[in-house]
Amino acid sequence: MTHPILITGAAGREGGGDPEVEEGIIMVNRPLIAACWVVRLALAASFLSAVADRLGLWGPPGAAGVSWGSVPKYEEYVAQLNWFLPAALVPVIGWTATACEAMLAIGLLIGWRLHWVAFVAGILLTAFAVMMAVALGPKSPLDYSVPSAAGAAFLLAALTCTTSPRTGLELARPASAS
């Protein structure tokens, strides 16, 4: 059985690292690993749920708990957020956002280049929050917790939780320690 670990980085006072940790020491940090997985799963589920809603998989437009329910309804929303764009670009922007969300969800679930996937997710969510705030007012992104999700994505990017191909162990380390 593999165990989650935390790579501590340079050690000792001379090395500029933590004076309490000797070089090469590996510490178990299960709460950090668990928190990273919770963030990964929550962000991926949110992205996939939004994609499913656009495609009508959560139900038709107007059904309980359904935001769009169809691609045309979603494109109306995209047009509302991107009021400054020509109408011909609205479907392009909508499908681009949908493809990005699906790819980011997959990247978060499989852990591929997790630092970058999480960072791009944070940028995308920040862009959504800004567009929602400009087009609909500041309450809209706050009601949907978009800034919180963006913050979680950026924090995940900073922690860079991934699986080591060499050892198969979970690693949680600062991104700069790569």
Does residue 11 lie in a domain region? no
| Residue 150 belongs to domain spanning | 36-158
Neighbours of 9 (CB within 10 A): 15
The average pLDDT across 38-62 equals 96
pLDDT in tens, 99-116: 999 999 999 999 888 999
Task: Tell me whether residue 72 is in a domain.
Answer: yes
Within a domain: residue 22? Answer: no
Output the average pLDDT for the chain.
Answer: 83
The two three-digit tokens of residue 173, written as one number: 């380390």
User: What is the DSSP secondary structure assignment for residue 63, as one 8-state letter?
Assistant: S
172 found inside a domain: no
As for how many domains the chain has, the answer is: 1
pLDDT, position 8: 46
pLDDT tens track for 24-38: 445 557 888 888 899
Query: 163 in a domain, yes or no?
Result: no
- Read off the pLDDT band of 17 (50, 70, 90): low
Please indicate, yes or no, if residue 27 is contained in any of the structural domains.
no
**pLDDT 10s digits, 124-145:** 999 999 999 999 999 999 999 9
Say if 80 falls within a structural domain: yes
Query: What integer pLDDT is reported at residue 5 of this predicted model?
Result: 46
Provide the sign of the torsion angle of the four alpha carbons 38, 43, 45, 46, taken in this order.
Answer: positive
